[in-house]
Amino acid sequence: MKKLLMLGGTEFVGRAITEDALERGWEVTVFHRGRHDPPPGVRAVYGDRTAPGGLAALAEGAWDLVADTWSGAPTAVRDAARLLAGRAGCYAYVSSRSVYAYPAPAGQAEDGPLVEGSPDADATAYAEDKRGGELAALDAFGDRALLVRAGLILGPYENVGRLPWWLNRTARGGPTLAPGPRDLPMQYIDVRDLARWTLDAAEAGLGGPYDVVSPAGHATTGSFLEACAAVTGGVADLRWTDPRRIAEAGVEPWTELPCWLPPGELHDHMFRGDVSKALAAGLECRPVEETVADTWAWLRSLGGEAPQRPDRPQKGLGPEREAELLGLGPGR
């Protein structure tokens, strides 16, 4: 029986990895701070990896795989990886495609230039922190470190507020701003496909960096938003809007219109990466309609209120600004 040590394991990506491992029949230990309940069936140990002595609960034990989703100070990855290097077979660090130096051209793969980072750094900025985490994992585990560079992550348990916002917006119905162009490619990963690939890759002994995200165009803005509208009852009237008009109105892509980036340099950087390496290593991506439907079912089970990470800003466009942009009068 494989043994997994999940650093975290109670929310979003960590929870998906934990649940996938349990479904495989693995023995799972979840190390966390005790703020949220882990899935049933795990062995839970407690500690705060940012506090002095916070890793004491991991002083003993051996595992086939350690999975880590940390996105703060790289020193937390450094300390955990050093502690576990002699007692774990593989260290899978869930990183981000944000580690690539901006702007990454369309078609860039894992060999593209990277931002600077240090395993000994305190928290600075997301991209640099993730790169520092990668270096910390590599320093301790060498070619036994698997660097899982995810892109936009969607699916059940999302605590960032992107897909849940669109689902609640389309469920409200009426004229709904849909940022164009409709056929603009998206590149994202369902959290469960990310979890499955990570465990498969670790079990196969893979190491080094992999961009783990769907092929560009696996979905488009159109197929994504139409799936949201359909699964929430078909009451939303999607009004496709030229991105130039959105820019002129001062609406912020990605934050006020979650998951969307207009055509151009930033879109190429985020949504047009070459993921052939991960595909060759077995990555499979489910249809966007399934991701959307399952997330809606999960969201409804919570009464429509998704959890929200306190370190991430609230997402979404206010109704007044949306109505103004669509040329609707008050109360429409």
User: Domain coordinates of the chain in residue numbers?
Assistant: 3-150, 154-187+215-272+286-325
Asked whether the bond before 103 is cis by omega within 30 degrees of 0, the reply is yes
- C-alpha 222 chain-centroid distance: 21
75-114: buried (b, 16+ CB within 10 Å) or exposed (e) per residue?
bbbbbbbebbbeebbbbbbbbbbbbbeeebeeebbbebeb
CB distance 158 to 189 below 8 Å: no
Mean pLDDT rounded to a whole number for the chain: 96
In this model, does residue 63 exceed pLDDT 60?
Answer: yes
- CATH of the domain spanning 154-187+215-272+286-325, picked from 3.40.30.10, 3.90.25.10, 1.10.3720.10, 1.10.10.10: 3.90.25.10
Say what the pLDDT of residue 331 is: 45
CB distance 85 to 120 below 8 Å: no
Q: Please state the pTM of the whole predicted model.
A: 0.96
Give the model's confidence band at 332: pLDDT under 50 very low, under 70 low, under 90 confident, else very high: very low
- In DSSP terms, 209 is beta-bridged to 147
CATH architecture of 3-150: 3-Layer(aba) Sandwich (3.40)
- In DSSP terms, 4 is beta-bridged to 28, 65
Predicted confidence (pLDDT) per residue in 192-232, tens digit: 999 999 999 999 999 999 999 999 999 999 999 999 999 99
Cα–Cα distance for residue pair 320/329, rounded to 1 Å: 9
Cα–Cα distance for residue pair 78/68, rounded to 1 Å: 11
Token pair of 308 as six digits = 């929200």
